[in-house]
Amino acid sequence: MTIQFTKSKGIPHGTFEDEWLAHKRQSEWWYATGYGTGDDGKLYSFQYTLIKAMVGGLLPYYQLQAAVTNCTDEDHRIVFAGADKNTITVSPTKAQVGNEACLEKTGNGMLLTMNENEFSLDVEMKPAKDPVWHCEDGKLRMRVDKPKELTWYYSWTNVPCKGTITIDGKEVAIEGKAWVDKQGGPYSMLKTYTHWEWFSLRFFDGEEAMLFSFPNEEGLYDTAYVDGTYIRADGSYERLNNYTLVPLEFTVQDGIKFACKWKLSAPGFKDERYIITPAIDGQLNLVYYELLAKVETESGEHVGYSFVELLSGARNDKVLSATPKAGEKKKN
């Protein structure tokens, strides 16, 4: 197992290939989520995240987070595994943790495999669009008034996928859409003011939007700095930062407050007003709350799905955690 490092500092960014590799003294993550319909007629979702977190700014800590969900039956399976760097492979084509999980770029697409005790996944993904640099030419400010709180960020936002999910020995063929991220930077991971509410809107018409909102503004939570990207069906894209996300409902998970339904108002963007509503109850995964949501117009038309990721500091004064045991079946 080997970890290859880029010479790029991330900001200004290099090529997509440069930023795929590991960055010295920066936290970063390789990430893929997707949803699909199984041959049993049920809705499924999956998540893969390989995180490299800098501890004290000097020592890298690697962790694998792998999950599959039978959304119809609300059956969520997740594994958290701290990984020794000797089990990690980061190469121009792979982000891999031993034999447990691998996100691999191939000649004409990508492969995602996960092999755990309670579940496995084998999905082929073929991007329908080129990757995009988000926000300000790939630069996302994690706090507008603190210039050093930065990440570099790009994604494949429209990735048709098909393959199999196996839960408790039962294999299901699925077909759907995925989204693949690479993001990181020299920001303060443990500061609550850098904690976000993140949305990857995946419209049925072949367009997407990435939205980042930072509601923890000096502990007030009633205003938010936002940034994002609008990706058209033809692959062209532009910065999207003239919008508001207003929480309509909240939930408390193990003492941690999270928003769980939002009204999106974005003048000039598609239908301009949307309601983002959880398709199923979310899952508390360590310090973040994740859910698959429906994107609907104000008239109630279902026009897409969105994965939503909410960090614990976004609406709480402290960074909190509630850690399930590795391999735990998590249901809310």
CATH number of the domain bearing residue 288:
2.40.370.10
Question: Does residue 39 lie in a domain region?
Answer: yes
Prediction pTM value: 0.93
What is the DSSP secondary-structure string of 195-259?
--EEEEEEETTS-EEEEEEE--STT--S--EEEEEEE-TTS-EEE----EEEEEEEEEETTEEEE
pLDDT band at 331 (very low <50, low <70, confident <90, very high): very low
Q: Is 7 within the bounds of a domain?
A: no
Stated as kind and residue range, the H or E segment containing 17 is: helix 16-20
- Count of the separate structural domains present in the chain: 1
Is the residue at 9 inside a domain?
no
Q: Could you read off the pLDDT of 11-26 as tens digits, one per residue? A: 999 999 999 999 999 9
Output the CA–CA distances (angstroms, integers) from residue 308 to 88, 92, 163, 210, in the order listed. 27, 28, 23, 10
At residue 328 the predicted structure's pLDDT band, cuts being 50, 70 and 90, is: very low
Over residues 186-192, mean pLDDT: 88
The pLDDT tens digits of the residues spanning 28-53 come to 999 999 999 999 999 999 999 999 99
Instruction: Give the CA-trace dihedral at 65, 70, 72, 76, to 10 degrees.
Output: -50
Phi-psi region of 5 (alpha: psi -120 to 50; beta: other; left: phi over 0): beta
Distance CA 318, CA 190 (A): 9
Tell which wins on pLDDT, 125 or 322: 125
Tell me what pLDDT residue 179 has. Answer: 98
**Residue range(s) defining the domain that contains residue 163:** 16-330
What integer pLDDT is reported at residue 286 of this predicted model?
A: 73
Which comes out higher in pLDDT, residue 254 or 15? 15
Residue 322 has pLDDT above 80, yes or no: no
Confidence (pLDDT) at 325: 40
Alpha-carbon gap, residue 299 to 321, rounded angstroms? 37
Give residue 187's pLDDT band: very low, low, confident or very high (50, 70, 90).
very high
Stronger pLDDT, 55 or 266, i.e. the higher one: 266
Helices (H) and strands (E) in the chain, counts: 1, 24
298 within domain boundaries: yes
Q: Name the residue with higher pLDDT: 140 or 86.
A: 140
Distance of CA 149 to the CA centre of its chain: 19
Answer whether residue 305 shows pLDDT above 60. Answer: yes
Whether residue 213 has pLDDT greater than 90: yes
Residue 276 lies in a domain: yes
Q: Per the domain annotation, does 51 fall within a domain?
A: yes
Give domain status of residue 254, yes or no.
Answer: yes
> Burial of 25 by CB count in 10 Å (0-12 exposed, 13-18 middle, 19+ buried)?
exposed
- Mean pLDDT throughout 298-306? 97
Percent of the chain with pLDDT over 70: 94
19 against 255, higher pLDDT: 19
Find, among 81, 106, 101, the residue nearest to 89 by Cα: 101
| Residue 214 CB partners (closer than 8 Å, separation 6+) | 142, 143, 193, 194, 195, 196, 197, 224, 225, 226, 314
- Answer yes or no: is 186 within a domain: yes
Average pLDDT, the chain: 91
The pLDDT of residue 223 is above 90 = no
Short-list 78, 275, 51, CA closest to 167: 78
* Token digits of residue 270: 């598609």
